[in-house]
Chain A
Amino acid sequence: MHILTQNLRMGRGNLLGFGIGLAALSLVSVLFLPSIQESGQELQRLINSMPKGMLAAFGVSEEVDLFTPEGFLQGRLFALMVPLLLIIQGVGIGSATIAGEEERGQLEVVAAHPVGRTRLFLEKLGVLVVALLFSSLLLFLSVWLGLQVVGVSLPLSHQLAAVSGSFLLGLLFGGLALALGAWNGRRAAALGLASLTAVVTYLWNALAPLNKDLADSQKFSPFYLATGYEPLRNGFDWAYTAILLGITLLVLALGLLRFRQRDIGV
C-alpha cells in the first residue's frame, strides 16, 4: 500500500481542492432549488423556445421535468456537470499516475524496487479509486446538506444512486486512461483517447433520443447507464450499475495484462 499512500500524499493538495470545489458547486446548485420552483412557468416558456438539440446536448431531455427537485438537479448537476468534473479528475489521475510518471522517468525507479507489475498497477488503480471516492463523498455530503437546508426531501438511496453513477463514470473513463497508459506508457495518448471516448459517448446518450431510429441505442452509452436513467427520480438500477462496473473491470484487466508483459520506460 506504500505506493498508493505515497501518491495520495503527494497529490493531497489537488485532491482536497478538487473535492471542495465540486462540493461547493453542487451545494450552490441545490440551494437554488426554491427560487427555480418559484419562477417555474417563465423558465418553462423560455426553455420551450430553445432548440431541442441544444437542450439535449446540455443534458436536458424532454422527459426531464426541470421543475421538480429531481429534474432540476438532474439537469443542473447529474446529466453533465458532475460527471464531467469527475471524469476530468479521473482521466487526469489515470493518465498521469502510470504513463505520466513513466514519461518523466520516475516509474522506472519505483519499478526497480521489490515491487511486482501487478502490485504496481493495482496500487496506481487504488490512487484513482480513492481520489474519486473522496470527491464523491464530499459531493454526496453537499447534496444531502443542501437538500436539508432548503427542506426538500429526496430518498437517500436515490441521492446515493445519482452520486454513485457519477462516480462510476469517473472510474470508467479514469480507468480507461489508466489502462491506456499501462498499455503503452504515453500520457497524451491516454488522456486524449479517454477524453474523446467520454465526449463521443456523452453526445451519443444526449443526442440519440432526438432521432427515433437511434433512440434505443442511447442505452448503450455509459452516460445513460450511469446517470441518464435519472437515478435521482428512479433510484438505483442494479443491472446498469453492474454493466458499467463490468466494462470498467474489462478495460482495467486488459491494461494490466499488457502492463505485466511490456517494457517500462522505453
Chain B
Amino acid sequence: MSAIRTEKLSKYYGKRRGVVELDLEVKPGEVFGFLGPNGAGKTTTIRLLLDLIRPSGGQAWVLGQPVRDNPALRQRVGYLPGELNLYDGLTGWELFRYFGRLRGKLDTAYLKQLLQRFDLDPTRKLRTLSKGNKQKIGLVQAFMHRPELLILDEPTSGLDPLLQAEFQKLVQEVRHGGATVFLSSHVMGEVQALCDRVGIIREGGLVAVSAIHELAERSLRRVRIRFAEAANPKEWAQVPGLKDLRVDSDWLEATVQGSLDPLIKAAAQHRVRDFISQEPSLEEIFLAYYDGRSAA
C-alpha cells in the first residue's frame, strides 16, 4: 500500500492548467519532498489529495483509499495549507479545541508538548500573533492528532532558522514513529535537509523523482572567487568539474557540478580575497537532471 498514489491525475481551472496527468507514488514511512517553482501545481496536487478540489481526470488514493467523498479518511491525515487563514478572534486553545472536536478527541498532553517545543502561547488571540507564530499554530494543528500522513504545503515559510531546526526534528520523530510526510517546497536546501526522496514538478507535470543523494550529486553551484593576484586561465582549465569557466585578471567564475572539493583545493594554493557560492535555482537543478539523463 502506498501512502499516496495518483494515476493520471489532472486538474484544469477552466482553461488554466493545474496539473496534467500526474503519476505520483509516496511510500509509507518516507519523507517526500514535492519541489517546484511557484505555479508549478504543488498546491493544486495537495488540495486534490484532501478532496478540497475535484480532479478533471484521473484518480488519487491516500493510505490505500480513494480520496473522493471520503471524509473518514481525513481523520488519519494532518494538513497545513500553504496560505494559512484561521479564525482570528479565537485564541490558540480555542482553535485547537475546535479542531480537536472535529477529529473526535484531543490529546492534550501531546498538544502541550508541541506548544512548548514551538514556544507558543496558546492564550493569545490569533489576531495578535506574528506571521511566524501563526505558522507555528498551523503546524501544531497539523501534528496534534498524530496523523499517519502529514501533508504540509510550504511548512517552514515564515519560521526562523531555530524553529526550522525544531520542525526538522519533529518531522524525523514522527517518521521514526511510522508516519509518512509529504511536503512541498520551492527551496532546495530545505528539502535536502529533510527528505528521503524528491519529486520535481514543473508546469503541472512530474519531471523527475529521485533519492535526495542522487540529486545532490547532480547539483550545480555558481562560484565566484577573487584572488589577491591575477589568475592564470590555463591552471584553472585543468580543475575537474568546472563548466562555463571565465577568468578575468584577478577573478574567476565557474559552474561546479558535483563536489566542490577539487576547486577549493586548487584555490587554496593562492591567496583568496573573496569566495561566493550560490545555490542553484530549481530550474538549473532540473536542467542538470535532464541533461544527466539524456547523456546517460
Contacts and interface: CB of A to CB of B under 8 A. Distances in A.
B31 interface: no
Contacts of B85: 104-106, 108-109
| Most chain B CB within a 10 A radius of its CB, from A117, A119, A266 | A266
Interface in A217-266: 260-266
A115 interface: yes
A116 interface: yes
A156 B84 CA distance: 51
B148 to A, nearest CB: 13
Contacts of B104: 114
Contact of B79 (A112, A115, A264): A112
Given A10-B89, A10-B90, A113 B102 contact: yes
B83 A264 contact: no
A114 B103 contact: yes
B87 interface: yes
Contact of B86 (A2, A109, A111, A113): A109
Contacts of A10: 87, 89-90
Interface string A87-109: 00000000000000000111011
A225 B32 CA distance: 60
A47 B81 CA distance: 61
B218 interface: no
Contacts of A210: none
A145 interface: no
B108 to A, nearest CB: 17
A2 B72 CA distance: 16
A6 interface: yes
A108 B138 CA distance: 13
B210 to A, nearest CB: 29
Nearest to B18: A266
B275 to A, nearest CB: 44
B53 A266 contact: yes
B50 interface: yes
A2 B13 CA distance: 32
Nearest to A260: B69
Contact of A3 (B69, B90, B102): B102
Nearest to A6: B98
A116 B71 contact: yes
Contacts of B50: 111-112
Contacts of A106: 85-87
| Most chain B CB within a 10 A radius of its CB, from A3, A109, A116, A265 | A109
A104 B83 CA distance: 10
A76 B237 CA distance: 95
B54 A113 contact: no
A28 interface: no
B293 interface: no
A108 B79 CA distance: 10
A119 B72 CA distance: 12
A115 B103 CA distance: 9
B52 A110 contact: no
Nearest to A262: B54
23 contacts: A2-B101, A6-B98, A10-B87, A104-B85, A106-B85, A108-B47, A109-B79, A109-B84, A109-B85, A111-B50, A112-B74, A112-B81, A113-B102, A113-B103, A114-B74, A114-B103, A115-B74, A115-B102, A116-B71, A263-B52, A263-B54, A264-B53, A265-B52
Interface of B: 13, 47, 50, 52-54, 69, 71-75, 77, 79, 81, 83-87, 89-90, 98-99, 101-104
Interface of A: 2-3, 6, 10, 104-106, 108-117, 119, 260-266
Given A113-B74, A262-B54, A264-B53, 11 more contacts: A2-B102, A10-B90, A105-B83, A108-B52, A108-B85, A109-B84, A112-B52, A112-B74, A114-B71, A116-B71, A263-B52
